[in-house]
Structure 1
């Protein structure tokens, strides 16, 4: 098709079709450079190039949306306005960024740096800057082309999100890495969906969680905030993230009692949610006894039932694992002969008493309710309920019967 066809048949090259587009819009969308040049030769005036379609896009905006770099360059050379903006407040830079138009963004950054610097702070209908947009797309080439124009890499959009929040949300790992090199200001900043770490934990982005932790995302967290993060990882079954968060607890100057309470709460919640991997992780820790022993209900450990009660109710097969771990092998010498003896220590099955350890950190052996030398109840041991019939009602043995876990009854408890 050429201009003579339009003149022969009496077509108006400025006429709008049913979508409000001129033939110049269509040519720009399809990267038809020869037709664009012919049209501009016939109507080389600003008003023709700035006609908008029903979405408010000019031909050069259409070229940016479609990543048609050659068409874009021709229109730019002819004087098409770079300040064009669609009905959705999409600028040329925002459109090119959203469409991963690497060549167009690089071309603009090289030929029109002053205009690009201004456009970098223009916002679309979501109040996103182009830096927010590239954080969503994850295009590191466009990020590298644009970042030089930003003095502040933490602008906020209408949801109180910085580009870091969005890079985390869309798993744009390379962009997260680059932003953290420039600024860690927003690692603890709350948005409508939470902090960057909270978002990464919920989505299970292990690499990003590691990066955020290394950049002090957990350093100033309150103890309850740490509990919430662990809960999120459990509710969403994020096993690797759960391990990272659990291990990170010991790297900060936190009260060990608080750590133990949070970890036991996490174990209990994992049992209730039937998160098998998580339960196995806690039961295979060196401090598993500390996590299994009954503790009083507190804000950090807010589930009243003990881990053993919950295991019997929700994951009886894993309760068997605990019983197996309670077998202790000892070697006894009598009359110069040494023999191997297996003892079964079912203190978790008893689940009647507990040691209050809020004031100081106690070792595992100190948390046992019975004196191993005398076999008697320690004076500091407290009953979990009064009167005793309340204890019997939900005692682990009673729960076994209620839940028809007959196999437990035949375990040799001697």
Structure 2
């Protein structure tokens, strides 16, 4: 397909608006030897398709770490955005490739790019990669990044029932009662009917009485006599103990990276374990 005149305008350092190139194909398929030969022959590593996808996007989305390394070393733009606004780091997180994530971060990829769409942390939560979630948080990912469709990363992890990711987020200080159109993570847990998820959120201070934009509590999304409904009924009749309330309050006060602060407290190890939900 020949590019139209409007599509063939030069775009600074990123080359031309083109269809997928051999560099894109090699990067996506993980053909590192062919990619190396293309680079050595002078192929542009920053050419974009009509939807602004670079070879680095293609390699990252498929978790092709060796190709990601080759492209970055050849000068690929680490924070290039596609038509949806996603960066290669977003795509690497979507693939769940911790190796690609580490490579991109080592070349300066922004962990909190100025996006109005899903952040890298959202994407890691969608893919269910708790390892990627933990790494992003360690390098400063915004726990409360908000996407107009998905809400916060915690909303995403709960909607996808990725319990390991939920635990990592909550331990890092994510707001358990953050709202998306007044809908909390607990509403998501009720909708997917996951009792373990409901229990976890409540233990971290999830408000069972929070109402969404339809005026419904999380329990209103459960079937009568079902396990999730019985779980909510139990906590409505049996409030959290004083020790649990103190734990929730202290964890809230410690904020982001609370576990690091708690570990330094001059209190018995048993209490530290309790505060860390061990």
1:219 Cα offset (Å)? 6.9
TM-score, structure 1 normalization: 0.49
Kindly indicate whether residue 243 of structure 2 is the aligned counterpart of residue 252 of structure 1: no
Task: Tell me the distance in 2 between the aligned counterparts of 1:199 and 1:191.
Answer: 11
Task: Tell me the distance in 2 between the aligned counterparts of 1:243 and 1:226.
Answer: 21
1:251 Cα offset (Å)? 2.3
Does the 8 Å CA contact 2:79/2:87 hold for their aligned counterparts?
yes
SS in structure 1 at match of 2:49: coil
2:218 corresponding residue in structure 1: 229
Q: CA RMSD in A?
A: 2.9
Change beyond 3 A, Cα 1:226–1:21: closer
1:159 Cα offset (Å)? 3.6
Kindly indicate whether residue 97 of structure 2 is the aligned counterpart of residue 101 of structure 1: yes
1:199 corresponding residue in structure 2: 188
Change beyond 3 A, Cα 1:248–1:74: same
Task: Tell me the distance in 2 between the aligned counterparts of 1:188 and 1:243.
Answer: 21
Task: Tell me the distance in 1 between the aligned counterparts of 2:215 and 2:165.
Answer: 26
Q: Residues 68-87 of structure 1 correspond to what in structure 2 (within 5 A)? A: 68-87=64-83
SS in structure 2 at match of 1:89: coil
Question: Which one has more relative contact order, counting CA pairs under 8 Å at least 6 apart?
Answer: 2
2:126 corresponding residue in structure 1: 136
SS in structure 1 at match of 2:222: helix
2:227 corresponding residue in structure 1: 240
Q: Residues 3-152 of structure 1 correspond to what in structure 2 (within 5 A)? A: 20-43=19-42, 48-109=44-105, 111-112=106-107, 115-116=108-109, 119-122=110-113, 127-150=117-140, 152=142
1:168 corresponding residue in structure 2: 158
1:211 Cα offset (Å)? 0.5
Equivalent position to 1:181, from 154, 161, 171: 171
Task: Tell me the distance in 2 between the aligned counterparts of 1:211 and 1:238.
Answer: 20
TM-score, structure 2 normalization: 0.72
Q: How many residues align?
A: 224
1:209 Cα offset (Å)? 0.2
Task: Tell me the distance in 1 between the aligned counterparts of 2:84 and 2:227.
Answer: 40
Change beyond 3 A, Cα 1:219–1:197: closer
1:226 Cα offset (Å)? 11
Gaps of 5+ in 2: 1-15, 241-278
Deviations along 1:51-73, whole A, 9 cap, x unmatched? 11122112222111221111111
Does the 8 Å CA contact 1:121/1:129 hold for their aligned counterparts?
yes
1:315 corresponding residue in structure 2: none
